[in-house]
């Protein structure tokens, strides 16, 4: 990977521009609920893919869990977000969930796969914070 980056700086630059504009529009409360959904048996928030805890991720990489887009070009809200450690976030990159997270993946777990699917398909909707309607002409809605 280092060699590719060295030999393809223009492609890396294009990727970085696209990637830095990729963010989630979720509230802190929604993010806390998302991390809470992916807790391990000890009650610690962990990576949805490999189950590395947030504490371990912080100790190893000095980073919090990432807000990972399950579908790279998908929505920027809670319906497309799971917590991910640095390694899983980097490895998945732009790959689809099914092409990257399968039996050939060293950290694959059918249980975790089903939990991710359950989250993005149904359970996340319980935690989406309703946005207030935009006000017209600066007037408060009745």
Q: By percentage, how much of the chain surpasses pLDDT 70?
A: 86
pLDDT at 36 over 60: yes
Using alpha carbons, list the distances in angstroms from residue 33 to 19, 83, 123, 128: 25, 11, 11, 9
Residue 2 domain flag: no
Does residue 4 fall inside a structural domain? no
**pTM (2 decimals)?**
0.78
pLDDT recorded at residue 129: 84
Structurally, the chain folds into a number of domains equal to 1
140 located within any domain = no
Q: Is the pLDDT of residue 112 over 90?
A: yes
Domain hosting residue 41, numbered range: 22-126
At 15 the pLDDT is 67
Asked if residue 94 belongs to a domain, the reply is: yes
Q: Which pLDDT score is estimated for 125? A: 95
Q: Is residue 97 part of a domain?
A: yes
Kind of pairing between the strands at 81-84 and 66-69: antiparallel
* Distance between CA atoms of residues 134 and 142, nearest Å: 12
């Amino acid at each position: 990977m280092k060699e590719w980056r060295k030999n393809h700086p223009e492609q890396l630059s294009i990727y970085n521009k696209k990637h830095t504009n990729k963010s989630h529009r979720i509230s802190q409360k929604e993010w806390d609920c998302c991390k809470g959904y992916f807790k391990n048996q000890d009650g610690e928030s962990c990576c949805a893919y490999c189950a590395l805890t947030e504490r371990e991720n912080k100790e190893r990489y000095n980073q919090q869990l990432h807000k990972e887009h399950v579908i790279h070009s998908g929505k920027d809200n809670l319906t497309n977000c799971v917590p991910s450690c640095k390694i899983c976030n980097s490895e998945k990159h732009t790959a689809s969930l099914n092409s990257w997270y399968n039996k050939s993946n060293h950290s694959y777990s059918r249980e975790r796969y089903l939990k991710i699917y359950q989250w993005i398909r149904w359970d996340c909707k319980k935690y989406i914070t309703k946005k207030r309607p935009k006000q017209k002409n600066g007037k408060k809605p009745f």
